[in-house]
Amino acid sequence: MALNVYTASAGSGKTHTLTREYLRLALASDNEKAFQGIQAVTFTNKATAEMKERIIEELHRLSVEPKASPFFKELTSALSVTETKLKERATKTLRALLLNYTDFRVRTIDSFFQEIIRSFAHELGYSGNMRLELDAKSIIHEAVVEVLADQDTSKASNSSVQSWITSLAEESMESGRGYRIEQSMSNFALQLEVEAVKLLRQNHSFPKKEDIKELQEELKTIIDELRKKTLELCHEIKAIFDELKLPQSEYKRGNNPISGIIECIKAGGDILENPSKGFYCDQSALPKLATSEDPISVLFSKEKRKEHEAIVAPKLPDIISLIEKFRELCHSDEGKKYMTAVTIYNYLGLYGLLIDIDTKLQELKQTEGTMLLADAPSLIASLLKDVQTDAPFLYEKIGTRIHHHMIDEFQDTSTMQYGNFRPLLQNAMAEGSDCLIVGDSKQSIYRFRSSDSSLLTTTLARDFPKEIKHQSLKENWRSTPEIIEFNNKLYPLLLEQIKSIFKDQIKASYSNEADPNREALEQSLQTLLSTYTDIEQTVPKQKAEAKGLVALYTYTGKKTNKKGDEEGQEEARSEDDALSQLPHTIIDLQRRGYRPNEIAILVRERKNAAAVAEALQSFPREELGEYSLDFISQDALSVSNSPYVRFIIAALAYIGKGESDLQLAILEEAYGQLLMSGGKQATPTPLPENILLELQTIGRRGLYEAAEAIIHLFHPVLPEGEDAYIVCLLDMLYSWEAEQTADISTFLDYWDEKGASQTIVTPTNERALTLMTIHKSKGLGFPVVLLPDLNWKLDENAGKDKILWCSIEGKDLPTRYAKSIPSVPIRYSAYLQHTYFAGEYYEEQMHSTFDALNLLYVATTRAKEELHIWVKKESDTSSNKNSSSTSLGTINRLFARKLDDTPLRELLIDGIANLQEDTPTTSAFPQRTTATKATPGEDTLRISSITSYPIIRRISVLRKGLEYFTEEKQRAYGHTMHLILSEIKTGDDIDTALEHAVSEGNILPEEVAQLSKILQEIISTPECKHWFDGTGQVRNETPILGGGLKGSKRPDRIVFYDDAHVEIIDYKFGHYDKHYTSQVREYMQLVQRMGYNDVRGFLCYIDQKKVKVVPVSLPNSSAKS
């Protein structure tokens, strides 16, 4: 029995090793079904498919011609069998595997966990038709909505929950994140998916709300007491200076010497302005006043000194004494305790809210019979408490017994996942079976998904001290010698810099070498550094003669106005020069013999992929010649990147959200962008009225057809190359309409939340480059790799809402809470340097830095033949900023930073093609010496146009219906005419009212002429003419309220004239009815009660042939008729 642990650096033949070990175990005996007792677990579907394919391919090769297999010698030696015997076993095993393919247990870790969960559904309290949910975010949001809804009911309303919600609202407003409480709660509630919180739930360690409330109150007391002391000191200092009655201009350089004191008072006694500016006590002239031997010179210039010294000198002892007390308070343990209390207090109330949301989440999952896939590890852990009894029971439930476990990419395993595998590994080895683990801690880039590379580097050795056998795969079979040498040289240099940075930070924060916190951090740093002890790789003999190159370009970056810009935007602009070089480099590569599909561009994030995509797409086509800059990408080709798609969405919003001025402005802006993207000048005038009316008409159609109609209407301005985006949007609309609803507004909500981020699927194409994020490139290799942007942060969490879960034990706080509240949420920021959580802060910062380094390692090891890297030039000041600052900076800055007065990039030049020109030239690099054959069958079918059934011949959706084509035609006709007349104040409004009726689906376009004739007849009738000539003030369909009325009365038309008389008109579209007269009289009486004495009433009978007006008078009234 053995636990074989292989450390597999990039390109070292990991898949070869896994396949060999699987075959060794499957062919170890004459039992052709031995493979059923082997389980190989990977982390991606692609890796699973690759491994299955490789195993079956090798079994087939061994069963036909064993010596043709690269594993022949190793297997015959390891199994001590002859060629004939090996062939016989391979033949039987392959046949059994194909006949029992479901027992071929090469699978992803998620599918294995799903299998267990479904087998134990009853034990876990789920029904047999349990539904596994992948999207945790949606169901957590649902739980948040339920918690908020509960607060709207008097029965369920909870004062503590309300106070926590109020706390979240205040914190969101103060931090400038807005007032969307539901969204803020949902974002914070995602902490339920963090492994630290899952462990709390699994161990039933969520604290009681009473304990949270008590700790909250004690922390508030600590905070208030120190702020009170601070304010007293600051007010005393300010009072002394106020007594001097000296204007600010009298002090040195015209600066207020106690501005830090003033700001502290404004802050309510808080002692730290922010981590970059530091404590208030260390601002303005306060430090110098407290330490200078000549404090008067700190306050005044030589000229002013003589004038004020006599008055100020007697006050100085008191001033200095108070400032010293203030500074001592800020920098004391009491100050650190205060800062710690503030840090915990900020999120403690939200912790209680998180518990309420979790309770609601569990209720929802039980009610709906839903289980989150992300919950699987914690649920399985509850089933595997006893190794000896629970593991066999688990195998019994899933219907198979696993003797050998093989785990790939172990560095990406989380603590909880390992906790589930550990008892299975222990059980297997207790029975004398071998297990295999493969991983590389240098390629650990998924810590944001809770992966923990220390499981590979330290935990396995601790848990299996006797069984473990370490082996390291040192040869790199992927890359050429030049790339291997570059990486061997690069990472030790980078590690030296990182080590120096953190050593300085730790030393500055913990001056005492014996401080246990300092020792712990230095040990953590050493552990992380040790993950790169096996960085040096060797070149296999078979590849010793292979030729390749590494190109290191430098660029200056365009200067940008940083004022008001966000940091991410500044970074995107600073790489403009690198992106302008990129197309020329790609063209040169093709000129030297590389096909586009052999070139990969790797970037840090999607936003960087979008910037690269824009640079490639905007390159002048006429300069390409026979070469291609087409690319495939799942990261850059978001459907919302298309200006035409954005315009379609803006048009749908204009239709679905009402034709408001805001929506019209958005639509016209999108239209201008659309014109410019097509190489046309954006029109300075708004969209024409006839186009807007046409859009309103389009609104009568369903969601999908509305989009098609918009495309049809604006097809003349459609830019080239947009078809794939449009097809993707239409697919999205079709699916939404089929599965959800045809309502435009609900789709627009979905678009804002998720739809806009969807990417178009592009097939592999020999004429297309590959553009992807580094995360997605893991496990892949490309002949050429381009890295146009190394300007990503070493500390990626800086400035983000990263939450750490930390223990409060030993933090100089009430110790009785350490057990009842095992850990608390705190926000990761530089603020923590001044608290008792400084150790946790530096620990996280170190891990984040190695995440960035690992990401670079993955990127630089994808290349097979050529690696091209762009490094931004840094000034001497900025490149050495880390030497005197705790700022970590970026990967790019590490390349510019000096080691022994020599920039790192210069140390790398030896043996590397290093280019300094703005644009690479063909003379710099040799022609490619070896070329791979083109892969057949990779031609892409191109769509030249999108056709569909003519829009005008389709059935339309009428929102209000042409009801007068039904049995109650007359009533419907009257309803429609009422709607039209309600929009007419003068004769000039007729055409607009009819157009609107068409757009609303009230009438058909072919009926406009007939109805226009009727309306013209009305306004030209002598008795009616003055109602529409503009001489009176018109109120159409205006309700009359109050006066004891139950509800309201709504006359069709009221006209107020300048001579103080009022005319009330009621339209009728049927035969004369005496009840109509009483209705008008009621209107007249109500208007009289409003203070109008001369009120006249009329019934206006309208049919399609004539108009008749009947006056209405009030009985026994002086009202004229």
**Binding-site entries for ATP:** 8-15
Residue 450, phi then psi, degrees to nearest 5: 80, 15
Q: Hey, what are 484's tokens?
A: 């291997």
What is the C-alpha separation between 675 and 678, in angstroms, rounded?
A: 5
Measured CA to CA in angstroms, residue 978 lies from 983, 1002, 1024, 1051, 1053 at distances of: 9, 11, 16, 11, 10
Q: How many residues does the chain have?
A: 1121
Residue 532: CB partners within 8 Å, gap ≥ 6? 442, 491, 492, 495
What is the C-alpha separation between 431 and 187, in angstroms, rounded?
A: 46
Point out which residues pair with 772 in neighbouring strands. Answer: 602
Residue 914, phi then psi, degrees to nearest 5: -110, 120
CB 589, CB 784: distance < 8 Å: yes
Q: Provide the residue type at 1041 as one letter.
A: L
What is the C-alpha separation between 12 and 15, in angstroms, rounded?
A: 9
Number of CB atoms found within 10 A of residue 829's CB: 18
Long-range Cβ contacts of 245-251 (<8 Å, 24+ apart): 246/308, 250/300, 250/304, 250/307, 250/308, 251/299, 251/300, 251/304
Residue 561: CB partners within 8 Å, gap ≥ 6? none
What is the C-alpha separation between 1033 and 1028, in angstroms, rounded?
A: 10
Q: Hey, what are 942's tokens?
A: 């191109």
Point out which residues pair with 405 in neighbouring strands. Answer: 39
| Neighbour-count burial for 32-52, b at 16+ CB within 10 Å, e otherwise | bebbbbbbbbbbbeebbebbb
CB 577, CB 918: distance < 8 Å: yes
CB 409, CB 47: distance < 8 Å: yes
**Binding-site entries:** 8-15
Which residue do the tokens 């007792």 mark? 37
What is the C-alpha separation between 825 and 197, in angstroms, rounded?
A: 10
Residue 465: CB partners within 8 Å, gap ≥ 6? none
Among the listed residues 573, 575, 553, the one whose alpha carbon sits nearest the alpha carbon of residue 561? 573
The greatest distance separating any two alpha carbons of the chain, rounded to the nearest whole angstrom, comes to: 125
3-state helix, strand, coil in the chain (%, to 5): 55, 10, 35
Measured CA to CA in angstroms, residue 73 lies from 77, 258, 375, 434, 476 at distances of: 6, 82, 44, 21, 21
CB 650, CB 666: distance < 8 Å: yes
Which residue do the tokens 């210069």 mark? 906
What is the C-alpha separation between 444 and 532, in angstroms, rounded?
A: 12
CB 1100, CB 1068: distance < 8 Å: yes
